[in-house]
Amino acid sequence: MELKEYVQIKVSADAMLAKCFSVKPMEAGTFSEKDVLNFLHTSGVTFGIETEHIRQWVSDPQNVTFPLIIARGRKPERGKAAYLEATRKNSSLPKDLDTSTSSVDLREGWTIPMASQNEIVARKVEATTGAGGCDVYGKALPGLKGKDFTLRPGKNTALSADGKSLQAIVNGQLSVEGRTVHVYPVYEVPGDITMKTGNIRFNGNVVIHGSVPSGFRISADGDIHIKGSVEASYLTAGGSVFVAEGIAGQGKGEVQARRDVHSGYINQGIVFAGHNIHVFQSILHSHCEAGNALVCTQGKGSIVGGKNTAGRWIKLREAGNALNTSTSFYIGVREQMLKAREEAENTLLQGKEEKAKLQKLHAKLEEKEKEASALTIQDRITKLRIRNTMSELLDKMTRAADTLQDIKSVMKENEGDAIFVTEKAFMNTNVHIGKYKRMITKNRNGINVFLAEGEVVIQDRR
Give the DSSP per-residue string, 100-119. Answer: TSS---GGGT----EE-TT-
Closest CA to 160 of 119, 131, 132: 119
Instruction: Kindly state the average pLDDT of the residues 114-119.
Output: 86
Portion of the chain with pLDDT greater than 90, in percent: 50
Q: Which of 161-175, 207-221, 397-411, 423-437 has the weakest average pLDDT? A: 397-411
Long-range contacts formed by 288-295: CB under 8 A, 24+ apart: 289/334, 289/336, 290/261, 290/334, 291/334, 291/336, 291/337, 291/407, 291/410, 292/410
Q: How confident is the model at residue 335 (pLDDT cuts 50, 70, 90)?
A: low
Quote the distance between the C-alpha of residue 409 and its chain's center.
7
pLDDT digits (tens, 9 = 90+) for 356-409: 999 999 888 888 888 877 788 888 888 889 989 998 898 888 888 887 877 776
pLDDT greater than 70 at residue 99: no
Task: Name the least confident of 314-328, 329-343, 381-395.
Answer: 329-343
SS3 state of residue 378: helix
- ∠ CA 187-193-198, nearest 5°, is 80
Model confidence at 108: pLDDT above 50: no
Handedness of CA 412, 414, 419, 423 (dihedral sign): negative
Cβ atoms of residues 189 and 170 within 8 Å: no
Q: What is the pTM of this model?
A: 0.65
Q: How confident is the model at residue 96 (pLDDT cuts 50, 70, 90)?
A: very low
